Amino acid sequence: MDDDAVFRALADASRRQLLDRLHDRDGQTLGDLCMGLQMTRQAVTKHLAILEDANLIATKRQGREKLHFINPVPINEIAERWIGKFEGPRLAALSDLKTRLEGEDQ
Amino acid sequence: MTEQSPIQNLAKSTFVYVTFIRTTPEKLWQALLQPEFTQQYWFGVTMKSDWKTGSPWRMTLSDGRLGDTGEVLECDPPKRLVLSWRNEFMPELTAEGFTRCTMELVPDRGAVKLTITHKSDVADSKLIKAVSGGWPTILSNLKSLLETGEIALTPNP
């Protein structure tokens, strides 16, 4: 897969927001994803196409509906390329610590 | 709203993972099923079956325990494999009953597009949650093994 396409797709706050929404609840339709967003339906459609080209989302037809699923595999590949091999356990510990400390702040 | 989804609960317990691997469908099919391959990229597990529609299959964990079991629902090498799938070693997951895992292999621009879809009829399925964490690493290792002959990451003990 093309790493450039993955980074380009991720280099946009709206697209990251769409991924966040799928991460919260996977398998949403275009209509579900548009709800409560400031973007037009056309803009969301365009962003979803870029995410799908980068293999960051996968789509499945179910009856009349097209459902969108977050596909974490390319991000995992990027992580393992530079991080996983050496730093996995330590980074996981650090990230747990960050989550805990930031959780306490709120 | 015209796009209400009546199947949202079902979709909640589904994941769809896709990876593109520079290999042939035949080699990928072998790698998905043959113990000498699966042991290398899949946390040491082996799958056993005659891979005929209607036959049982079972997965053995690296420590020899029974992992998951099920039935071969469809087998069309090297294109499509559909398995019923139940966890056998964590009682709360076993209680959820059978899930359904579909593996599809489609040649795509000199590579093979591998799509893994795993679904449960149980809303917020714990099994789906458990397996969805493991698959990305398994798939990255599988890709790495087929493309370079080595796995990227040795599984954490």
> pLDDT tens digits, residue range A8-64?
999 999 999 999 999 999 999 999 999 999 999 999 999 999 999 999 999 999 889
Q: Do B11 and A81 touch (CB under 8 A)?
A: no
By the CB < 8 Å criterion, does A5 face chain B? no
Is B138 contained in some domain?
yes
Give CA–CA dist A4/A45, Å, rounded.
Answer: 21
Cβ neighbours of B4 in A, within 8 Å: 31
Tally of domains in chain B? 1
Residue A39's CATH number? 1.10.10.10
A35 and A66 belong to one structural domain: yes
CB pairs under 8 A between A and B: 77
Q: Are residues A18 and A51 in the same domain?
A: yes
Interaxial angle between packed helices A41-53 and A13-24, expressed in degrees from 0 to 180 and rounded to the nearest 10: 80
pLDDT above 80: residue B157: no
My answer on whether omega of the bond before B78 falls inside 30° of 0, hence cis, is yes
* Residue B143 placed within a domain: yes
Structural domain harbouring A20 = 1-71
Structural domain range at position B105:
24-109+129-148
Quick one: A32 and A49 in the same domain?
Answer: yes
Same domain, A26 and A48: yes
Count up the domains in chain A and report the number: 2
Cβ-proximal residues to B77 (8 Å cutoff; 6+ apart), any chain: B29, B51
Please name the helix (run of DSSP H) or strand (run of DSSP E) that holds residue B137, with its range, or none: helix B126-148
Pairing of strands B46-48, B56-60: antiparallel
Q: What is the mean pLDDT of chain B?
A: 87
Count the Cβ atoms, other than its own, within 10 Å of residue A50.
16
Q: CB-side exposure of B82: number of CA atoms within 13 Å? A: 6
Residues B87-128: pLDDT tens digits?
999 999 999 999 999 999 999 988 999 999 999 988 889 999
Collapsing DSSP states into helix, strand and coil, what is residue B136?
Answer: helix
Residue B37 placed within a domain: yes
* Domain of residue B49, CATH code: 3.30.530.20
- Tell me the per-residue pLDDT of B69-87, one tens digit each, with 9 for 90 and over: 999 999 999 999 999 999 9
The pLDDT of residue A85? 63
